[in-house]
Each structure stands twice: as C-alpha cells, then as structure tokens.
Amino acid sequence: MRVSPQLLCFSTILAGGLFFSSTYAADGHVDLSATTQFNEIHPGDSGVLAVEINIEDGWHIYWPGISDSGFGVKFTLRSTGPVTLDDPIWPTPKRYLQPGDILDHVYEETALVLIPFTVADDATADEPVIFDIDAEFLVCSDICLPGQANTSAAITIVDKSDEKTPSKLSEQIRAAYEHRPKPFNPKAQDVRVQWIADAAAIMFRDATKIEFFPSKECTKLADPIAGGSTDSNRLIIKFAERENKVLSGRIRSHEPAGPVDYDINIKAP
C-alpha cells in the first residue's frame, strides 16, 4: 500500500478531531486576492472575475480533481446584484510524483482561477455588484495543514455610453482567458481517439508530450502514473474496469508553439 507523509499527517489530523482546530491553521501559507478584468461593466455584458491564489515557497495545494494524498481547493461563490456566475476555470496543475509512487496534481507559487459572469440585460447603472469567495484547501510541505481563506471584489455597472477602465490585472486576465482550456473535440483533424477493451488511446498529431489530469468524474485508472504522461504524441490511458468507461479531466498537449490545454469528458461507445 502506498502511503505518503502528507497522507499520514492528514489522517492524524482527522483522527485527532483537529481538522478545524486553530492549532493546525494554515495562516500565512496561502493568500487569496480577487479582481475583475475591468472596473466597470455594462448591462448585458459578460466579464471575468479572477481569483489569484498565492502559495508560500516550498508549499503546494491541490487541484480539484484526483490526487493520491490531498483534497482539492473548494470555492464557495456568492454575489450581490444582477449577475450570473459560471463555473470556475482552473489552471492546469503540475504532476507531483513522490517516493512510493504517490501521484498528486498540485499548484505551486501561484494559481489564477477565472470565473466568467454575465450581467443581466435590465441591470441599472450604479447598481452594486460584490463578489465574495470562500476557499477551503489543504496546503502541504513536510506537513499538511487544512485551511480556509476569503476574498472579495466589486465591480460597478455603468451606462453603455460610459467607458470601461481596465483593472491592474486586466492584461494578465485577458491572456489567461484567451488561453483557457478548449473543449476536447474527438473529431478534430489533428486528434485521434481509439477505445480498447480496458483503455483509451489519444493521439495529437503535433504533440511532443501529452499529460492527463483525471477529474472526479473519470473512471478509475489502472496506472495513473503511466497513464498520465508520455513523451510522444500518443497516450494510452488504462482503466481499472472495462464497462461504462468515462474519460474525464484535463489534457495538455505540448506542441512546438507551446502547450495547449483541453477539457475532456467522453464516454466509451
């Protein structure tokens, strides 16, 4: 059985009933801040709220998918005013392989999470919009600490005749949104998907390396380490079962022009 120091620490916290104890507070290791791409927005427009997670050097947090020894960041999102929030767009994590074949998918240093939103067509100027974000996470180094953090941001609704002014992170948010993961299209000309009895083989024509990060909806993998990365343009992902297979998560295709990310959720025929 593979057991990591982080998992042992986490189990000890749970066993001692100290999960929410201030003794194990993660203060200082993780910090949240939030801003919108523009300081103002027009009725009927779409916008992007960005939550920046800053992580202390030498520590890491987990993406909200599958990992061997930690739970992913969980957001609770609230807003006032006439807005509708979409699901968060998480950046692609890093594979973190530890002794004992412990494979985690983590963020280090910083992670910029994008949350698209839409303002109602009938919103009125000067109507306040405030976003509140609560985060629960596990942050790990030599030990693992559960933690909570909160941040907020505001945006002003203005008349359509009024100009919008960019926020301090406007260009960073724009670039991140333009390079957000694409929906995976198994019928694309540069992609090939082949289903085998207990596996799926994915090929990207121009890839020099492929990485796969399974989501919680993905059928359990037989070998997440071998099935999660290849230094070629064809990745074989083996499942722990043969029936009703679902391939779900994030795929990164490393190509000459740079990495391209895809969100995938397909079922075996």
Q: What is the 3-state secondary structure (H, E, C) of 183-231?
A: ECCCCCCCEEEEEECCEEEEEECCCCEEEEEECCCCCCECCCCHHHEEC
Question: Taking the chain (269 residues) in consecutive chunks of 10 residues, what is each chunk's mean pLDDT?
Answer: 42 33 58 96 97 97 95 95 96 95 97 98 91 96 93 95 95 97 96 94 97 97 95 97 95 97 96
What pLDDT shows up at residue 18? Answer: 26
Residue 25 has a pLDDT of: 47
Domain encompassing residue 191: 182-267
Please report how many Cα atoms fall inside a 13 Å half-sphere around the Cα of residue 230, on the Cβ side.
17
Specify whether 125 is located in the same domain as 241. no
pLDDT for the residue numbered 2: 41
Domain holding 89: CATH number? 2.60.40.10
Burial of 10 by CB count in 10 Å (0-12 exposed, 13-18 middle, 19+ buried)?
buried
Do both 21 and 114 map to the same domain? Answer: yes
End position of a domain, from candidates 147, 178, 209: 178
